[in-house]
């Protein structure tokens, strides 16, 4: 089938645009500071405009979150705050978006641990294989109230980031130009991963040949045969058209895709009390909304993929999944080494909380 890029995909694959726009935005802000005026004012933007950048395109789970967040914030603040949404491709790659928040050029972004763990290794806990419950409702409950999140929050603060939410977006699903049903099938498999070294080592543990790339380069990498496969939730496999250039989709429930919502610590602590309360209230209340939404998006997009393509969809049995566990859990050791004592505590706490929640 001929692939026609959507306007969002065209923008996000036009790589040169990213650094140009990024540097223009940063330069504008630096110039404003040197002139002693508010960067927002110089850009013609009110001080209560919150710029919110996404790591995903329009129509994604992150976009659904941002659109609802915008409505709720604008309503709760009675027009005091305007939220401007920048879909993936408008400002930069995942890592660049985090840098924009850290430097206060924008106020909010999603920072997925699959990339962010390069800077905050503790965040890599969310990318570990066979850690989370097979029942995603259990995971959502744990992520909403585990003490592990408070410990993680400290690590974010050290990088001038305020952790505002931990959001599951669905099971990570392998796609490939070959079937993967047993660990030996991973041998030499050139799989695109997000850029965190913990993820890279996890896939090396399976015997695969991991290739870290930005999200925007995955489609062309698959199409040109530079990589054999990739891993992402179903909604993303559909909206980024990966399924059109792959022969197999393998559901192994080895990991959840979990993202984090962040602001800069300076921005957060500089908010007046009313605005901070609005932000905290809205981010708390968004949890059930986005959990339901991601389930619906993943289910609907799976049906769309089945209808629109002849990709073979394979769901591994519990026995088949068990064969992957020992290799998959090699990543845990790498995580403990890279994330140190605090990281190990976060992992132990999460694991205990998941077990306890499964027993309830």
β partners of residue 50: 83
Compare residues 89 and 233 and give the one whose CB is closer to ligand 6CS: 233
Is residue 233 involved in binding ligand 6CS (CB under 6 A)?
yes
Cα–chain-centroid distance for residue 128? Answer: 14
**Ranges assigned E (strand) in 105-210:** 108-110, 161-171, 173-176, 191-193
**Measured between alpha carbons, how far is 322 from 222 in angstroms, rounded to an integer?**
28
> Taking CB under 6 A as the criterion, which residues in 60-89 touch ligand 6CS?
none
The secondary structure element, H or E, covering residue 271 is none
Distance between CA 229 and CA 175 in Å, rounded? 5
Binding mask 248-267 for ligand 6CS (x = CB under 6 A): ---------x----------
| CA–CA separation, 196 and 123 (whole Å) | 10
Measured from the CB atom, is 194 or 311 closer to ligand 6CS? Answer: 194
Q: Which residues contact 310 (CB under 8 A, 6 or more apart)?
A: none
The residue among 39 and 64 lying less far from ligand 6CS, judged by its C-beta, is 64
Q: Residues in contact with ligand 6CS, total (CB under 6 A)?
A: 12
> What's the DSSP call for residue 182?
S
- Provide the mask over 162-191, with x wherever binding to ligand 6CS is found by CB under 6 A and - wherever it is not: -------x----------------------
Nearest-approach distance from CB 130 to ligand 6CS, in angstroms: 20
Residue 56 lies near ligand 6CS (rule: CB under 6 A): yes
The strand pairing partners of 250, in sequence order, are 174, 314
Shorter beta-carbon distance to ligand 6CS: residue 60 or 107: 60
Q: Is 196 in the site for ligand 6CS (CB under 6 A)?
A: no
Residue 71: Cβ within 10 Å count: 12
Cβ neighbours for 33, distance < 8 A, ≥ 6 positions apart: 39
3-state SS, residue 264: strand
Residue with Cβ nearer ligand 6CS (56 or 122): 56
Which span (25-33, 176-184, 196-204, 230-238) binds ligand 6CS, by CB under 6 A? Answer: 230-238
Query: CB of 320: closest distance to ligand 6CS in angstroms?
Result: 24
The maximal CA–CA distance of the chain, rounded, in angstroms, is: 65
CB of 259 to ligand 6CS, least distance (A): 7
| Residues contributing to the site for ligand 6CS (CB under 6 A) | 55-56, 94, 112, 115, 169, 194, 215, 232-233, 236, 257
């Amino acid at each position: 089938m001929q692939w026609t890029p959507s306007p969002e995909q065209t923008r996000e694959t036009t790589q040169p645009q990213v650094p140009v726009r990024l540097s223009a935005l940063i330069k504008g802000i630096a110039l404003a500071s040197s002139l002693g005026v508010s960067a927002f004012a110089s850009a013609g933007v009110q001080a209560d405009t919150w710029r919110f950048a996404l790591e995903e395109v329009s129509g994604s789970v992150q976009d659904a979150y941002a659109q609802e967040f915008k409505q709720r914030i604008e309503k709760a603040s009675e027009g005091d705050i305007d939220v401007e949404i920048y879909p993936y491709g408008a400002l930069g790659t995942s890592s660049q978006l985090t840098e924009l928040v850290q430097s206060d050029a924008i106020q909010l972004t999603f920072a997925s641990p699959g990339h962010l763990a390069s800077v905050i290794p503790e965040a890599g806990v969310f990318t570990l294989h066979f850690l989370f419950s097979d029942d995603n409702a259990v995971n959502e409950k744990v992520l909403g109230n585990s003490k592990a999140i408070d410990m993680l929050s400290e690590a974010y603060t050290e990088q001038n980031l305020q952790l505002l939410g931990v959001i599951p977006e669905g099971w990570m699903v392998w796609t490939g130009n070959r079937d993967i049903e047993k660990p030996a099938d991973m041998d030499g498999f050139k799989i695109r991963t997000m850029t965190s070294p913990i993820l890279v080592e996890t896939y090396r543990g399976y015997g695969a040949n991991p290739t870290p790339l930005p999200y925007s380069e995955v489609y062309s990498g698959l199409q040109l045969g530079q990589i054999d496969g990739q891993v992402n939730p179903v909604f993303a496999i559909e909206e980024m058209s990966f399924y059109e250039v792959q022969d197999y989709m393998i559901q192994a429930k080895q990991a959840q895709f979990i993202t984090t919502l962040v602001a800069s610590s300076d921005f957060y602590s500089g908010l007046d009390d009313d605005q901070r309360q609005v932000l905290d209230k809205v981010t708390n209340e968004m949890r059930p909304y986005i959990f339901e939404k991601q389930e619906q998006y993943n289910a609907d997009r799976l049906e769309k993929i089945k209808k629109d393509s002849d990709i073979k969809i394979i769901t591994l049995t519990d026995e088949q999944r068990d064969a992957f566990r020992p290799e998959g859990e090699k990543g845990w050791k790498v995580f403990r080494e890279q994330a140190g004592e605090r990281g190990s505590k976060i992992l132990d706490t999460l694991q205990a909380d998941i077990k306890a929640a499964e027993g309830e």
